[in-house]
Structure 1
């Protein structure tokens, strides 16, 4: 399994995404088991947010992790921008902690930029670290200008990760954002790495090169897509899985490595951007 270092912690590079988990009560038992199966097969990171299902997703995570040792897990949660203020952030954090059933989060992210001044949010995140409610903090949906503004703040360098959309369909961050993050040793958390697999574009699911690579490696196209996001290191990829079979396959994608020829073929077939792109979000 490939690894990634976030702050001072080295982690398996394939984590567990939970967006849309908990939306359908009928699917909840399978979703709980999917999270457990991923953990049982080597995943440590669970990424969730107060926004997901308006708290329902966090409650699914609580059920899924109740039989595991807390220190064996790395839990990421996110605060909505409207709650990222001096008056609301700690209350919002406490509610998320309660729903997940833990005393602390390993990583707490500002979900995206809002109207609350960034300096105010960072001050509150630092205060939560000091109080022991979070071990570290980061950001999400930040572009180059956002990170540059963040790093100008006195505690801005304490940011340990940036979570952005990244997959074969959305490569805009490769032009300038990823190089900047690599320069600063800031890891990427890649969300929706399967390009919304349940509505994946026919271009990817039927792509001949991806099919060929999948056949050669005796894996699925989706596993090839996940491994692609990890190909240069410094990335934690967080696919969602709604059932145990997919969850296990996601984790196993972390064991796939490409030959130089395969990487060259992928680079030619899916060329990276040659100009600045607007930051893609979903």
Structure 2
């Protein structure tokens, strides 16, 4: 078990607990949360993953994001076990498959997620990506779930600007509270148009994979001279610099995934890093935002 000084624990909890993102309905959600993609799929890692999630909550990362797709429900089962006894401290988010997002099927999908999570409500329910089911049906189902108290609010995921425009043109489409998309230092395509469009309508972004998925791109980020210089300057890890970059703007939430307590602690501590103008200029120079429209990155 990771041994963390109580004063450090309390300090991080206080720091992360005050970092909130405002939502259009007047409520707010934690800015720094925890992703769960791939968690719950390996029985040998189950206890460590549960410990990591519970530690994250203790450190103020109280938003936990999951989906019925993750491990065909295994992730939701794991989260349900991890939040036993602390459900009231957790801002719980799950996502519905597009093919299950019709007016009636979404009710059944949500009920199954609630059963796996062992809770009676979700704080936020997202359409995982846009499929063939008409958005009007999905909206109607989401609004019914809200009326029944099964979800507090709803949003979408992997929606590009034209998808968001379609959504908000429909009845009750303006009830969408968030759009969860891939966003990190090496994937800044949303800054060209989507991020600005959502900001004009006060709809925040929830960044998934804010540390970048494994592979060459992640290595390029971590090994770059600029990130290494900034990490040394602040006395932190390179991954923490990348996460801190994502947290600079108060209307962007981030949900890094961690399968062990050590990484969870590093994620939580990234909220303490204050990147200055020189840091941001260095990072912009090495990993600039695109100057033209690009397809929405999805993994």
Question: What is the rounded CA distance, in whole Å, between the counterparts of 2:265 and 2:219 in structure 1?
Answer: 24
Candidates 274, 279, 285, aligned match of 1:268: 285
1:237 counterpart = 2:285 = no
* Alignment partner, residue 190 of structure 1: 207
Query: What residue number does 1:110 align with?
Result: 127
2-structure distance, mates of 1:64, 1:177: 34
Q: Out of 254-263 and 78-87, give the one that drifted further.
A: 254-263
Query: 1:144 aligned to 150, 161, 165, which one?
Result: 161
CA contact (8 A) 2:177 2:204 kept: yes
TM-score between the two structures when normalised by the length of structure 2: 0.91
> Quick check: 1:61 aligned with 2:61?
no
Aligned equivalents of 2:276 and 2:104: distance in 1? 52
- Moved segments of 4+, more than 6 Å: none
Residue 4 of structure 1 deviates from its aligned partner by 1.5
Q: Is the 8 A contact 1:194 1:200 kept in 2?
A: no
Change in Cα spacing, 1:9 to 1:197, as seen in structure 2 (3 Å) is: farther
Q: Spell out, residue by residue over 1:99-138, the C-alpha distance to the aligned partner (whole angstroms, 9 max, x if none).
A: 0011000000000001100001001100100000000000
Secondary structure of the 1:201 match is helix
Aligned length: 281
Which of the numbers 170, 193, 196 marks the counterpart of 1:176?
193
Pick from 42, 48, 56 the counterpart of residue 38 of structure 1: 56
d(CA) in 2 for partners of 1:207 and 1:133? 45
Gaps of 5+ in 1: none
Offset of 1:31 from its aligned partner?
0.4
The secondary structure found in structure 1 opposite 2:210 is coil
Q: Following the alignment from structure 1 to structure 2, what is the Cα–Cα distance between the partners of residues 21 and 33?
A: 12
Query: Following TM superposition, by how much is the alpha carbon of 1:64 offset from its aligned partner in structure 2, in angstroms?
Result: 0.5
What is the RMSD of the two structures over their aligned residues, measured on CA atoms? Answer: 1.3
TM-score, length of structure 1 as denominator length: 0.96
Aligned-partner Cα distance in 2 for 1:81–1:218 = 43
